[in-house]
Amino acid sequence: MSLFDCTGKVAVITGSSRGIGRAIAEELAAHGARVVISSRKQDACEDVAAAINAKHGEGTAVAIAASISEKEALEKLVEQTHKKLGPIDVLVCNAASNPYYGSMDGITDEQFRKILDNNVLSNHWLVQLALPDMRASGGGAIVVVSSIGGLRGSAMIGAYNISKAADFQLVRNYAVEVGKDNIRINAIAPGVVKTDFARALWEDQKAHDRTAAVTPMRRLGEPRDIAGAAVYLASDAGAWMTGQMMVIDGGVTIGSGM
């Protein structure tokens, strides 16, 4: 049996109606998991779930919309997962937001709180909600999709980067607390990936080429470039890895490609 086999596992992936989240859901399903597609809009979730079911069989994916900014919505997400698929074995906290671009000294309290709430507090809520299932079953895997922004400062997305750095510590701290329960929690830190979320960094050809030019691999990431790491962390392949951060950025953080 493959170390990457996820047969029988129930995986909840937030922000999975598109981009990195969708790619992760598709790959987990391809490796045998039953997946919950979740984002804010039910119709978008249903479209993705239908595509996965058409490829891997009915019942492989279910669509459950939820806003990460509302604790009650996340509680209902877990409740509906139990009803439709059963206890959670794998949790992928992928959804995030960034409502502000500019200097930190110009951000409003409301904008800063929204970033911290959606990118850090919501992940904490989801982990809390998934832990009882994982403890009862004897183990589980949690993946937080962070960003290489958490490793550096920025004149434009400083608050977002602060939230992503906080995610690294959230992962480390939970890993210390739940390791005794055979529950692993790790983070993935992507570089610039061609998703709607990062569209401003690649849609314009000049911006795309500038970013690619300083990337050692000379290209931007695709959502599927991140999905394999999530499968590794969710499966027995990552059975002894916890509290860590995997950087997947084409080499950007090791040095300029120029």
Residues identified as active-site: 160
The Cα 236–Cα 178 span in angstroms is: 17
The 10 Å Cβ neighbour count of residue 218 is 11
91 CB contacts (<8 Å, ≥6 apart)? 11, 12, 126, 127, 130, 140, 141, 142, 143
Which of 131-135's residues contact partners 24+ apart within 8 Å by CB, and which partners? 131/178, 131/181, 131/183, 133/82, 133/87, 133/88, 133/89, 134/87, 134/88, 134/89, 134/178, 134/181, 134/183, 135/181, 135/183
Provide the b/e sequence for 76-96 (b: ≥16 CB within 10 Å). Answer: ebbebbeeebeebbbbbbbbb
Q: Decide if 72 contacts 36 (C-beta within 8 A).
A: no
115 CB contacts (<8 Å, ≥6 apart)? 97, 98, 99, 100, 159, 160, 162, 163
Backbone phi, then psi, for 183, in 5-degree steps?
A: -110, 125
Is residue 188 within a helix (H) or strand (E), and if so which, with residue range? Answer: strand 183-190
